[in-house]
C-alpha cells in the first residue's frame, strides 16, 4: 500500500474520501472519462472571421445604398432649385417669387445640403472605424 501521510486527521479524512471515490469507480469498472463533443478551433475561428467579414460587407453595402439615396435626393433638390432660379430670372410663364421668399429658399437649400453631407460623413464614417 502506498504511503499516505496527511498532516492532520481532518485533512487525512478529506484526502481518503477521494481514494474511496476512486476505489468505487474502479470496482464498478466504469469507463474512464466521458466523451464531449469536440469543436474544431480552426474552423470556429474561420467561421467567426467570416461572420465578421460578412458584417463588414453588409455594413459597407448599407452605407453605399444610404449615400446613393442621399446624393440622388440632393441632386433632385438642387435641380429643382436651379429650375426655380431660372424661372425667377426669366419670369418663365409669369413665375415670380417674392424677393425674400426666393432668398430664403436658396439659403435654406444650401444649408440643408451642407448639413446632410456633414451628417452623412459624421455618422456613416465615424472616427476610429
Closer by beta carbon to other proteins, 2 or else 90: 2
Write the CB contacts of 109 (distance below 8 Å, at least 6 apart in sequence): 77, 78, 81
Neighbours of 81 (CB within 10 A): 17
Neighbours of 71 (CB within 10 A): 13
What minimum distance in Å lies between the beta carbon of 68 and other proteins?
Answer: 30
Q: Among residues 4, 91, 93, 129, which is the contact residue for other proteins, using CB under 8 A?
A: 4
Task: Write out the three cell numbers for 123.
Answer: 455618422
- Residues 88/95, Cβ–Cβ less than 8 Å: yes
Task: Write out the three cell numbers for 47.
Answer: 467561421
Q: Among residues 27, 29, 39, 90, which is the contact residue for other proteins, using CB under 8 A?
A: 39
Q: Among residues 29, 34, 98, 100, which is the contact residue for other proteins, using CB under 8 A?
A: 34
49 binds other proteins (CB under 8 A): yes
What minimum distance in Å lies between the beta carbon of 53 and other proteins?
Answer: 9
What minimum distance in Å lies between the beta carbon of 30 and other proteins?
Answer: 7
Amino acid at each position: 500500500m502506498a504511503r499516505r501521510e496527511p498532516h492532520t486527521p481532518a485533512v487525512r479524512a478529506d484526502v481518503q474520501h477521494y481514494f474511496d471515490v476512486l476505489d468505487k469507480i474502479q470496482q464498478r469498472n466504469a469507463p474512464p472519462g466521458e466523451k464531449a463533443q469536440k469543436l474544431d478551433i480552426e474552423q470556429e475561428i474561420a467561421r467567426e472571421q467570416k461572420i465578421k467579414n460578412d458584417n463588414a460587407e453588409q455594413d459597407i453595402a448599407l452605407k453605399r445604398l444610404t449615400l446613393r439615396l442621399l446624393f440622388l435626393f440632393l441632386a433632385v433638390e438642387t435641380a429643382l432649385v436651379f429650375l426655380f432660379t431660372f424661372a425667377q430670372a426669366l419670369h418663365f410663364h409669369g413665375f415670380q417669387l417674392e424677393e425674400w421668399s426666393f432668398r430664403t429658399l436658396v439659403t435654406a437649400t444650401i444649408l440643408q445640403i451642407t448639413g446632410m453631407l456633414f451628417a452623412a460623413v459624421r455618422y456613416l464614417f465615424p472616427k476610429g472605424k
